[in-house]
Amino acid sequence: MPENIIAGIPVHFPFEPYDVQRAYMEKVIICLRDGTNGVLESPTGTGKTLSLLCSTLGWIRTRQSEVQLNMQKLQHDQQTQLTGAAGAGAAMGSEIAAVIGKSNNWGVPKVIYASRTHSQLTQAMRELKRTAYANMRAVVLGSRDQLCIHPDVMREQGNSNKVNMCKLKVHAKSCTFQLRVESKKDHPDFRGPSIMDIEDLVKVGQRLKMCPYFASKELVNSADITFMPYNYLLDPKARKANKIELSNAIVILDEGHNIEKICEESASVQIRSSDVAIAIEDVTHIMKIFTSSSDSQDTAGPDEPKDFTIDDLTLLKEMLLELEKAIDGVIVDNKADGATYPASYMYELLGKANFTHGNCATIVALLDKLVQYLMVASQHSMLRKGGSFMVLADLLNIVFANKGDIMSKVSCSFKVHAEIEESKQSQTNNKAQTGWLGKGNNNAASSASKTGRIINFWCFNPGFGMEQLLNTHVRSVILTSGTLAPLKPLIAELAIPVAQHLENPHIVNEAQVYVKIIGTGPDREQLISNYKNRDNPKYISSLGQTILNVSRIVPDGLLVFFPSYPMLNQCVDAWQASGLWADISSRKPIFLEPRGKDQFTSTMEEFYQAIRDSKGACFMAVCRGKVSEGLDFADRNGRAVIITGLPFPPLKDPKVILKRRYLETNRTRENQLLSGNEWYNLEATRAVNQAIGRVIRHRNDYGAILLCDARFQDASQVQQLSKWIRNHLGARPQSSPFGPIVRELRQFFKHAEQTIVQPVERAVEPVLHTICSKKEDQLTLAPITQIKREPGNTGTSKFQLASELAAKVEMANSIKTWTPADYANAAGRNAQSPKAPNPMDFMSRLNSNVTSIDFNADSGRDLVKIHKRERSSPTFHNESMGSKKRYRLINNIAQSELKEAPESRADFLREVRSVINSDQFRSFGKALLAYKTGGDDSFETLMLLLLDVMGAPKLRYLLHGMRRYLKNEHKSEFDVRLASLEAAQL
């Protein structure tokens, strides 16, 4: 890869970097060199992740080389100065120093790369594998939910239950996967690959029968760069558990546009009256088991770790009763708005139950033991799994993590908010809720008040969490994202010293982006999505007409973002009633953002498939939702984005009110904090910036951005948009009439399709066309890969056309199966010719690379198939030149047996969807999801569905392909069922 000298450091970049990439990498290197912090914004599509990785690792590699050279020079000087025995001793000392230095990475800083989600981390690691730094050591830290391969743990519902089941098995030394980590951690298959992402770790773990979760921690010390989610980095307990050392480390916070919220949420906690009531009930159950264990040893099973006493339980129950009494005694005068108290009130509340800094660690340790006890006991008795104990432990850990030296900051950064917890009367007569099905919503203890309380301990100062991070003596913190603007308020809130900051322009030119503010719809109704106008039927109708007209012009994918889910649902209901929904659907199939996690993946895949298969698709989603926060809608998947309004936070939400009040109280000239109103407006604009970034994803991409709200022309809103969007709107942006926008939009896409390089389609070309003077003469052969030409070569010479035609015909002859229906489409035959092929055509086709001929295609009956046997002898061609081919008639072999199911999961699901109907695929998806978290019953349900849907001979290859997605304990049963099916059809 080309080497570029940037800020004095050689950086290997896959291509000649653009100006924006060079400026970005220069800022990164300066931060690393000087040990300072940076806040860097570079729009999505400018190669931010690639620039960040290459510049950081280029600087790391340079430092490693410098330190190693100095070490080698030192060793050489010592060896030349000393000889004899003393020299041997000095040499040994040098070797020991070298080993110690290498194990400590030669004193070179480690890199911690943190992002919001694991999908973003996977994308970053994929970028790393394509660079010249792919040989540097990299590892990702994931959760048990992603990395655990123990079947018992994976059967547990919810991440917290999986965590506790894993802890229990490790404590009892009953997890064979974890026990093999020590013996297998130096295996070449594990230590060999330099970059290990989630998928790599799981594959190696399954092959070596070693726990990927615990094994990944063994790679942290030797890794040059460690990838992890934000919560692993910001939580001190998580850092300790994952062996993360931050001293002298380089911390990169990618996709950091939500870092303030993440810092605030990581320091906040909530507890309910019902949580305490259930904890009291769980302690009581355990105490009953203890008292009855002398009479019946098998009451709760013999395997529970009982490393606590009845006195511990008695003391804990007394404290919980006092805590319940204190919480239920909190005064809430206004039931609608709740009541707010200072941060010290939380310590007073816990103090009434004797929870203090001094005994916090002891109580948390006891709660962890109780959770492990209940994990075992719940397997053979009707007990909960200790969820209430985990809630209480989280409360104590977060509240008492703040020591006395920072209590003054706690008092101004935190607030306690109390609200009424509504009781669920439907649970009163539900006896099953006292068993393992109860998950924290029970009306349990009779001593509890009919109306409980919810106590929130909220942090409103993101700088509080960042200060804890800086106190670990990190070398540099680099905060980066595509949407950080405006930078000054962000830096002020985080309260970190920033030496380098950057607002990059976009990498695309003006001809690739069309940005307009649409203030009125086609009927001249004002488009403004404020609280007063949202229920206006005329506004909703005008917005629908606007989307309909735009969908007629925009090719391929159209994204529409709404301020909130209620607004989205309101518009959908109104448009379905008026017929607008059907009109839009006739132009583009409409997909709605699902709120459930299970449906999200399948919905996105259906949207992408609709783009490939039809005239386009429309995806309606919500700002701040999953679709707006990191998904890639490059090229055809997203040619335009419509923002229907400003997504302000709920005005009367208690947390929003207290945040605005906090800013107004603590704002000074020195700290440059925003006012409450400025923060409120900025929250909406940042969500808009994030949604807009879904469209333009790389240098050759193009698309339209339509802001359908008249408020976007206000100067206060425009100034908070990303810099590159402001440049397209101009100095004084104004909303335009709808008519001229339609005309300009049509011209924009027409010009873009003619002048901008179109993306290379990954899909196989659907039909092979003959290259001749008559365009109507076409070959209707099976799909064949298109011949690739050199860039810029139109391939107009007759010789070149003839050569490509010959190559295509040759590829057309290399097929696996052939039917009599292919007669009519034989290569070189005119489709209009009435003359049918003669038997010599049939025999000539056999001379090509055909393995079987199916005579059943036309008759529809199971008759016979000629199967061609291929010789494996190296002299096959010489022997067969003069010999006659032999053919034999055999029983019908299903064409599906000659096929193989796609390897990748996405391709496999796409193949299944293409051969079965929508109802069958929906049932298949539900059964697969139930099987993932279920047991033997779910396998039986899945197996019956598979045999029904894929049991036909032509789909048998898909049934074979399903085997790789089954759990190991079910594969043998699957093989038996499959063998029985095939035997029955012989």
* Residue % of the chain over a pLDDT of 70: 78
Dist. CA 737–CA 638, nearest whole Å: 24
Residue 513 pLDDT > 80, yes or no?
yes
CA-based radius of gyration for the chain: 33
Residue 633 lies in a domain: yes
Which of the four pLDDT bands, split at 50, 70 and 90, describes residue 380? low
Statement to judge: residues 336 and 417 lie in one domain: yes
466 pLDDT band, cuts 50/70/90, is confident
Whether residue 456 sits in one domain with residue 545: no
Tell me what the mean pLDDT of segment 747-771 comes to. 63
413 domain residue, yes or no: yes
Q: Which of 731, 752, 773 is the last residue of a domain?
A: 752
Mean pLDDT of all residues belonging to the chain? 78
Least reliable range by pLDDT among 26-40, 182-196, 286-300: 286-300
- Please compute the mean of the pLDDT values over residues 418-431 and round it to a whole number: 61
> Mean of the pLDDT values across residues 570-582?
93
Instruction: State pTM to two decimals.
Output: 0.69
Residue 859 has pLDDT above 70, yes or no: no
Is the confidence at residue 834, as pLDDT, over 50? no
Residue 297 has pLDDT above 70, yes or no: no
Q: Residue 157 in 3-state DSSP?
A: coil
- Choosing from 703, 735, 752, the residue where a domain stops is 752
Confidence of residue 793 (pLDDT cuts 50, 70, 90): very low
Would residue 470 count as lying in a domain?
Answer: no
49 is in an annotated binding site: yes
Is 463 annotated as a binding-site member?
A: no
CATH of the domain at 515: 3.40.50.300
Task: For residue 837, name the pLDDT band (cuts at 50, 70, 90).
Answer: very low
Looking at the predicted structure, is the pLDDT value of residue 663 above 50? yes
pLDDT of residue 30: 95
| 70 or 888: which leads in pLDDT | 70
Q: Show which of 703, 722, 752 is a domain's final residue.
A: 752
Q: What angle, 0 to 180 degrees and rounded to 10, lies between the N-to-C axes of helices 159-171 and 360-377?
A: 90
Give me the pLDDT at residue 568, please. 93
CA distance 571 to 588: 17
pLDDT band at 105 (very low <50, low <70, confident <90, very high): low
Q: Does residue 456 sit in the same domain as residue 539?
A: no
CATH assignment of the domain containing 355 = 1.10.275.40
As beta bridge partners, residue 3 has 12
Asked if 519 and 618 sit in the same domain, the reply is: yes
| 544 labelled ligand-binding | no
- pLDDT at residue 157 in the model: 79
Between 166-170, 240-244, 674-678, 822-826, the lowest mean confidence (pLDDT) is in 822-826
In a domain, 735, yes or no: yes
End-to-end CA distance of the chain: 58
Does 837 fall in a domain? no
Domain containing 946 — which CATH number? 1.20.1160
Burial 689-714 (b: 16+ CB within 10 A, else e): bbbbbbbbbeeebbbbbbbbbbbbbe
Q: Looking at residues 928-944, what average pLDDT do you find?
A: 80
pLDDT band, residue 350 (cuts 50/70/90): very high
- What does the DSSP assignment read for 566-612? HHHHHHHHHHHHHTHHHHHHHHS-EEE--SSHHHHHHHHHHHHHHHH
Is 47 annotated in a binding site? The answer is yes
Clarify whether residues 455 and 537 are in a common domain: no
| Residue 404 confidence (pLDDT) | 66
Supply the DSSP string of 848-876, one letter for each residue: SS--EEESHHHH-S--EEEEPPPP--TTH
Residue 175 assigned ligand-binding role: yes
Q: How would residue 581 be classed by pLDDT, with cut points 50, 70 and 90?
A: very high
44 is in an annotated binding site: yes
Do 916 and 924 form a contact (C-beta atoms < 8 A)? yes
CA angle 196, 198, 204 (to 5 degrees): 65
Rounded to whole angstroms, how far apart are CA atoms 562 and 534? Answer: 11
- What pLDDT, on the 0 to 100 scale, is given for residue 424? 55
Q: Is 148 annotated for ligand binding? A: yes
Q: How many domains does the chain have?
A: 3
The annotation status of 953 as a binding-site residue, yes or no, is no
What are the structure tokens assigned to 861, written together?
Answer: 């009956």
pLDDT of residue 727: 85
Whether 48 has a binding-site annotation, put simply, is yes
C-alpha to C-alpha distance for 219 and 148, rounded to whole angstroms? 17
- Is residue 726 a part of any domain in this protein? yes
Could you tell me if 609 and 711 lie in one domain? Answer: yes
d(CA 415, CA 461): 11
Q: What is the mean predicted confidence (pLDDT) over 708-714?
A: 91
Specify if 962 maps to a domain. Answer: yes
**What pLDDT is stored for residue 882 in this prediction?**
42
- Bin 430: left if φ > 0, else alpha if -120 < ψ < 50, else beta: beta
Look at 12-16, 846-850, 978-982 and tell me which has the smallest mean pLDDT: 846-850
Question: Does residue 708 have a known ligand-binding role?
Answer: no
796 is in an annotated binding site: no
The reply to whether 570 and 631 lie within a common domain is: yes
The 3-state DSSP class for residue 712 equals helix
Q: 113: which residues sit within 8 A by CB, 6+ positions away?
A: 53, 121, 124, 225, 226, 227, 228, 252, 254
Kindly give, in sequence order, each residue whose CB lies less than 8 Å from that of residue 371, ignoring residues fewer than 6 positions away: 164, 385, 386, 389, 390
What's the whole-number mean pLDDT along residues 70-87? 67
Can you give the residue range of the structural domain that contains 980? 905-984
Whole-number Å distance between alpha carbons of 42 and 214: 36
Same domain for 456 and 525, yes or no, is no
Q: Residue 850: what pLDDT?
A: 46
530 and 456 housed in the same domain: no
More confident residue, 705 or 835: 705
Q: Are the beta carbons of 507 and 45 closer than 8 angstroms?
A: yes
Reported confidence tier of residue 143, pLDDT bands at 50, 70, 90: confident
- Same domain for 610 and 747, yes or no, is yes
Q: Is 43 within any annotated ligand binding site? A: yes
Residue 737 in any domain: the answer is yes
pLDDT at position 442 over 50: no
Judge if 518 and 455 occupy the same domain. no
Residue 373 sits in the same domain as residue 283: yes
